[in-house]
Amino acid sequence: MRHRASAAHVPTAAGAGIAITGVTKTFVSPGGVNVAALRGIDVHAAAGSVTALLGASGSGKSTLLHLLGGMDHPDEGSILVGETDVARLSRRDLVRYRRTVGFVFQHFALLPALTARDNVMLPLVPYRTSFDQRERAEQLLDSVGLGDRPDALPSQLSGGQRQRVAIARALIGGPRLLVADEPTGNLDSATGAEVVSLLLKLREERGVTVVVATHDEALAERCDQRVRIADGRRIGEPEHDAAP
């Protein structure tokens, strides 16, 4: 993997601190049954830190990431990201807020017909920017170790390389927050470890705040703090390392 200092040339707003307080979310399933996905959860994360969300399947990790990323509203509670209470934003302001968040998913979600470069540029296509989007995409590919593969199609890349393209895409808007839902779930452990190293490197180089849902304890151990969730509630003592 090539790591060059070019990431420093891509400007990024400083990471946002996070304060999630008393958040609840209940879904009503088609049969009319209520599912309480989150039952009063509190999570705090320092600006520029990496937080792991751990918990069994169905414990509420993805729901919390969706709320944090402004993809949905909680029923109760507040979600401060920097100065913004995401829980109080109107639908229209949520759309604007989402542009300040980078999303990474388990299944990469790359468009198969587009090159790595075009996939990275995709989130910006509807917008005019003060910088050259193509050049920015190439710098980001370089900073995730794929500077020599801008023209590769997803089918020509390994799983780990595809995830690195997805991370570059998540960064193109200069997000203050990166939300990753099981980003190593489809990767073998060595490749997964490389992706985690990349997330930690990005935190170091850009100061972006990262929240990552995972089942992988080894991954979580490398993060700055671990938040354990069971049935929509926080369990155990806060576990964090020294401030980054």
Ligand X SMILES: Nc1ncnc2c1ncn2[C@@H]1O[C@H](COP(=O)(O)OP(=O)(O)OP(=O)(O)O)[C@@H](O)[C@H]1O
**Which of ligand X, Mg ion, none is residue 57 near (CB under 5 to 8 Å by kind)?**
ligand X
> Across the beta sheet with 101-104, what order do the strands follow?
101-104, 177-181, 209-214, 50-54, 225-230, 233-240
Nearest residue (CB) to Mg ion, 7 versus 199: 199
**Which of ligand X, Mg ion, none is residue 90 near (CB under 5 to 8 Å by kind)?**
none
Nearest residue (CB) to Mg ion, 12 versus 59: 59
CA atoms of 102 and 39, how far apart (whole Å): 26
CA atoms of 72 and 9, how far apart (whole Å): 33
Residues 61-80 that bind ligand X (CB under 6 A): 61-63
Q: Does 27 bind ligand X (CB under 6 A)?
A: yes
Q: Does 95 bind ligand X (CB under 6 A)?
A: no
Nearest residue (CB) to ligand X, 7 versus 86: 86
Given candidates 16, 37, 54, 198, which one binds ligand X under the rule CB under 6 A?
37
Q: In the stretch 149-188, what mask flags binding to ligand X with x, by CB under 6 A?
A: ----------------------------------------
Q: Does 111 bind ligand X (CB under 6 A)?
A: no
Closest residue to Mg ion, judged by C-beta, is 62
Give the closest residue to 101 by CA, choosing from 208, 212, 226.
208
Least separation, in Å, of the C-beta of 62 and Mg ion? 3
Q: Count residues contacting Mg ion (CB under 5 A)?
A: 1
Q: In the stretch 54-83, what mask flags binding to Mg ion with x, by CB under 5 A?
A: --------x---------------------
**Which of Mg ion, ligand X, none is residue 236 near (CB under 5 to 8 Å by kind)?**
none
Residue 120 corresponds to which tokens in the numbers above? 């990275």
| Site stretch for ligand X (CB under 6 A), options 53-61, 80-88, 166-174, 198-206 | 53-61
Q: Does 184 bind Mg ion (CB under 5 A)?
A: no
| Site stretch for ligand X (CB under 6 A), options 60-68, 139-147, 154-162, 234-242 | 60-68
Least separation, in Å, of the C-beta of 243 and ligand X? 27
Whether 145 and 116 have beta carbons less than 8 Å apart is answered as no
Bridge-based pairing of strands 209-214 and 50-54 is parallel
Residues interacting with ligand X, by CB under 6 A? Answer: 27, 29, 35, 37, 55, 57-63
